Structure 1
Amino acid sequence: MDLHHPLFQAFALPLVVAFMVTGMLRGALGPVQGRRWAAAGVALAIVGSAAWILGWRLPPGSLTERLPWIYAIVALAGLGLEAVHAGRRTEWLTASILWALALASLAAQALPLMIGLWVLGTAVIRAVLREHAARANAAAILVVASLGLAAIAMTSGSALLFELSLALAAAVAGCALWLWPFVRIAFGAAGALVSTLAWLALTLATALLTEVRPLTLLLLAGAFTAGPLVHWGRRRLQRAAPPPSASARTWVEPLIVAAVAAAWVAAALAFAQWGDTGTPDAAMDDPYYKPRW
């Protein structure tokens, strides 16, 4: 068995680690504390898979070599916020500061562009954190958006970013299996922060290292509006019909949210294909990466 095969290190490893560690934390810590801390399994899977693929370089040189360190710092911050029972506003402020630091570390661009990227990132963070921690909505959006990012990275010629994005989707999916169809944990700061900032960092890396057009990534970021759109539609429907049961919200609603997010992803992929010029650069991979296909 090749432990460095892409199917293992970018799919099987993060999926199994996230699922097993989440379940072990849930069982070992009990129904109350285990429910709170179980989402740390996704943080371990994300950091572990990135380190497995990229390794730990000290000091980190290239943009991708910095990603495992950024993931680890954000994961520790998420654990700290969970330990102090931080509120959603505190989580959002902390994540926004971490995103600003990540931007400064990963990209040295013009100040107006950096501010725009920071604002976009904070909007994505808010969209994730405003979702109820005891539902699978946020996890569903992150899985769909990460799969879309993986597809865009591959069509843009980067097998490395494809693997990293697929690993992120697999890690969140492994944790989401404990949230859907039956809710047994909470997707709190221990998992939500590192998942969201990992997606933002990979999106930034895709924009900087490939020829993908910015509008494609903006359409992909639109997937994070799926939650607010579904909530708005539900409120409109409640005016004309009885409200759905609690079980319907936890079982059916994540599917609807995932479908809306998938529509945004499909639009981004269609736009990317429509604007594909077929140049040789689109088939090139990162010059420092040799994929094992």
Structure 2
Amino acid sequence: MENLLNNPMLQSSLLPLLISLIVAGVVGFSSAKGQRFAAIAVAISALATIIVISGLSFPPKATSQKLPYLIMAGAIIGLLVDALNIKGWSYKLVSLIIPLGMVGWLFGARFNSMDLVGGFYLIVITLLAILTLWQGDNQRNRIDSGLKLLFISGGLGAILLIGSSAMLAQTAFGLMAAIGGLLLWNWPKFRFNIGASILFPIVAILSAMAAQGLFFTKASGIALLLLMPLLLIDLIMPRIPLLNRAATPMTRALSLGAIGVMILPVAIGSALLLTETSGYGY
């Protein structure tokens, strides 16, 4: 068993998938209100995956050591938002806490020494995190937000791996598997809400990892920016013939997935072209 847990492939695939799948099922079917909170399974799975991969340090000092606590904070706030059913402008205001808090806690000490390019990328990442959270306010009963996070996690993992950060890449692929565990319950039939319980912690961790990749690895900033269209797949779909005819949760997921599959190779391919080659180190 110990050898299995130490296997990087299992740590970033089967382990997070099973944890998310099992916890989501237990929570989602536990009561009438369970479907509102089932998405917390993704945060639980992500937290377990990160601890298995890189451990848990207290007090956290390095940026990477703060990632588990970022997930915990996001999950707690997300649960409160879902429990209180916060929506509209109240939701938008609360959702600012996550990206702004992430930037301040993880990178506040770098502000004075940050160059213009680094500052630009950090601002873009923060704004995209806010956009993703705001989009989710109106997509709790659709699979859209979950698919966006799934594809972004996979794309980020590939770009980080190309940028010589195997540990961050492994974590991103673990997030992808954890999200997949929840989405398996929501396809072909949609069962569990995709609310703040998943959005707050996962958007926080993805944003933090993207910024880490830019500042501490050789990951291509342009390649990361090319993941941006993944946030718009729900707006792109109605403009594409055949795909715009999706009328059920099953066909909508397939149509959105088809667009995501077309976008990912562009970002990953650009990473291969633009990233300086080196070993995939931890």
User: Same-fold call, TM > 0.5?
Assistant: yes
Identity of aligned residues (%): 24
Q: Given that residues 75 and 200 in structure 2 are in contact (C-alpha distance below 8 angstroms), is that contact kept between their aligned partners in structure 1?
A: yes
Q: Which residue of 2 aligns with 1:291?
A: none
Query: SS state of the match for residue 28, structure 1?
Result: coil
CA separation of 1:131 and 1:11: change in aligned 2, threshold 3 A: farther
CA separation of 1:22 and 1:226: change in aligned 2, threshold 3 A: same
CA distance in 1, matches of 2:53, 2:88: 32
CA distance in 2, matches of 1:277, 1:41: 37
Q: Which residue of 2 aligns with 1:216?
A: 223
CA distance in 2, matches of 1:23, 1:97: 29
Q: Which residue of 2 aligns with 1:12?
A: 14
The correspondence for 2:239, drawn from 228, 233, 236, is: 233
CA distance in 1, matches of 2:91, 2:61: 29
CA distance in 2, matches of 1:277, 1:48: 32
Code of the residue aligned with 1:122 in structure 2: it is I
CA distance in 2, matches of 1:115, 1:155: 23
Query: SS state of the match for residue 184, structure 1?
Result: coil
Determine whether 1:97 maps to 2:97.
yes
Q: Given that residues 131 and 138 in structure 1 are in contact (C-alpha distance below 8 angstroms), is that contact kept between their aligned partners in structure 2?
A: no
Determine whether 1:176 maps to 2:183.
yes
Per the TM alignment, residue 225 of structure 1 is displaced from its structure 2 partner at its CA by 1.4
Per the TM alignment, residue 284 of structure 1 is displaced from its structure 2 partner at its CA by 4.9
Determine whether 1:58 maps to 2:89.
no
Query: SS state of the match for residue 30, structure 2?
Result: helix
Q: TM-score, normalised by structure 1?
A: 0.85
Per the TM alignment, residue 25 of structure 1 is displaced from its structure 2 partner at its CA by 0.9
Q: Given that residues 45 and 178 in structure 2 are in contact (C-alpha distance below 8 angstroms), is that contact kept between their aligned partners in structure 1?
A: yes
Query: Over aligned residues, Cα RMSD in angstroms?
Result: 2.3
Q: Which residue of 2 aligns with 1:259?
A: 258
The correspondence for 1:165, drawn from 142, 148, 172, is: 172
Query: SS state of the match for residue 239, structure 2?
Result: helix
Determine whether 1:285 maps to 2:281.
yes
Q: Given that residues 172 and 195 in structure 1 are in contact (C-alpha distance below 8 angstroms), is that contact kept between their aligned partners in structure 2?
A: no
CA distance in 1, matches of 2:227, 2:60: 28
CA separation of 1:167 and 1:91: change in aligned 2, threshold 3 A: farther
CA distance in 2, matches of 1:119, 1:33: 32
Per the TM alignment, residue 237 of structure 1 is displaced from its structure 2 partner at its CA by 8.7
Task: Output aligned runs, 1:13-52, within 5 Å.
Answer: 13-29=15-31, 32-52=32-52
Unaligned runs of 5+ in 2: none
CA distance in 2, matches of 1:36, 1:184: 9
Q: TM-score, normalised by structure 2?
A: 0.88
Q: How many residues align?
A: 272
CA separation of 1:163 and 1:131: change in aligned 2, threshold 3 A: farther
Deviations 1:174-233 (A, max 9, x none): 001111111111111112222222221221121122112211110013211112222x42
Q: Given that residues 37 and 190 in structure 1 are in contact (C-alpha distance below 8 angstroms), is that contact kept between their aligned partners in structure 2?
A: yes
Unaligned runs of 5+ in 1: 287-293
Q: Given that residues 11 and 49 in structure 2 are in contact (C-alpha distance below 8 angstroms), is that contact kept between their aligned partners in structure 1?
A: yes
